[in-house]
Amino acid sequence: MALIHRTTLKPTKLELLASWLPTRPWYAGGPDAPELTKAGGFRLDDPEGEVGIEFMVATDTSGPAPVHYLAPLTYRGAPLPDAEHALIGTMDHGVLGRRWAYDGCHDPVLITQLLALLEGKAEPQAQSLTDTPDHEVTRTYTGEGALSVVALTATDTPEATELPLHPGPTVLHLNRVLRPGPLDLPEGAKGHVTGHWTLPDDTRVHGVFAVLFTGPDGLHEAE
């Protein structure tokens, strides 16, 4: 169970993201620095109790229209080996001390728990409350066989991050630029996770955070 501390972070998560987001190929902002607010998301628990797992929605209002980004994040008390490429930055936590923040798409703990969520084996938790399930997060998995990672080689596209899975060919597709609206899964989808966030006008919305594609209709064919 993740314990949510009411304390200070220096720099804040949003300050780290403001520097990191413009370096991503799916960043949709303009030439100026993003102006970010935390708009929503949820958490997952690490069964070992060591790694913080958060799926944060950050809204950028620096451009002519708001852009909503999904930032899957992990927080660790020590560097993740061989993951310098995924490091977003470090923070000083008022209770836990130095924390290393990573792009969770490259962190095996986050990916393992996200697959468990898709399979109905993990329960989504409220973003800012301890031991409180988030019943607004929905998931499905209609494929066959247990999901597992082929290799932790996440690839960024102009709007998403993708990761190959077993049983293959299966692709985990995490939407990085979120769009609110009704559940409208593309052809070939075998599973999904939806989440929620709040628009700048205080409207609460839902959208697709992650999609599983498998078989011949998947995003990629095996080579």
pLDDT at 216 over 50: no
pTM: 0.91
Neighbouring residues of 106: CB distance < 8 A, sequence distance ≥ 6: 83, 85, 86, 152, 154
CA–chain centroid gap for 150, Å, is: 19
Distance (Å, whole) CA 147 – CA 119: 8
- Please state, for a pLDDT cut of 90, what percent of the chain lies above it: 76
Query: What is the structure's pLDDT at 93?
Result: 72
Nearest to 143 by CA among 158, 165, 113: 165
Q: Give tens-digit pLDDT for 95-115.
A: 667 999 999 999 999 999 999
Query: What is the structure's pLDDT at 135?
Result: 96
